[in-house]
Amino acid sequence: MSGQLKEVRLRIVSVTSTQQITKAMKMVSAAKLRRAQDAILQMRPYTQKMQEMLTNIVSSLSGDMELPLAAERVTERVLIIPITSDRGTCGAYNSNVIKAARQTIESKYAAQYAKGNVTILPVGKKGYEYFQRHGYKLVDDYWNLFADLSFENVRRAAIYAQEAFLRKEYDRVELVYSQFKNAATQVFVSEPYLPIPKVEATESKKQTDFIFEPSKEVLIQELMPKILNTQVYKAILDAHASEHGARMTAMDKATENAADILRSLKISYNRARQAAITTELTEIVSGAAALQG
């Protein structure tokens, strides 16, 4: 009986220690989430308006001038950019991003993948390790962007994708990431990146007529890469906030589970202790009765 009590006591100590760790990790993630959330909420309106403007410009200029980054080609070679995290302990966040990337390949580019024409440019250590382990073709120069997250570092990855598209190494580029909604909700999306998507003009929503100053050739040449760089940066900020939200939620749930386990262990410990005391009292009474007899 004493052995059983000792085992339960050790488990209580172990679970209490784990609960303290998960509670601390939750607090750290909450602080990081606040900063990451502020960053994406400030960036998102600007990026969305710039993307909308770029799409409208590309659509309105279609046929008027050559736009290499908007050139539609037969899709033979594809680049997928999945954005995961560098660390785990964030629930199913990383596996959901990887699942979304695989579903994109299976649903849109199964024929290209069968020919070996699908390449992965992973951002984040977890995605890099998964796709490397499963034998995918990789561009492994940008997976550690979260080690020093800045616009300049993200810009290098965006420029690589743009230049590779212009060299016709890839006919299509897609971003796969998690859009941040709140700490408990992330939406996993596959977003076309290159060629720049066009919108069809309709009677209800006509394309915007732009006045260009300086000339549209000069403006488009300068504006288009900057907007595309910003699009990748926004996706990475979305993923960064989603990661911390998922980790905070996972650690909060782990802390609650530890509390439930502790309650159960304490009940088991008290029952075992009461049984041990009852047994000892019975033995004492039986010994006293035997002596009197």
The Cα 254–Cα 91 span in angstroms is 10
Between the alpha carbon of residue 18 and those of residues 28, 30, 151, the distances in Å are: 15, 18, 37
The Cα 111–Cα 25 span in angstroms is 43
Classify strands 172-182 and 78-82 as parallel, antiparallel or unpaired: parallel
Strand partners, 81: 175
Strand order from edge to edge, sheet including 172-182: 137-138, 118-120, 78-82, 172-182, 185-194
Instruction: Tell me which residue of 157, 87, 93, 94 sits closest to 121, measured CA to CA.
Output: 157
Instruction: Tell me which residue of 180, 155, 176, 135 sits closest to 44, measured CA to CA.
Output: 180
Catalytic residues: 90
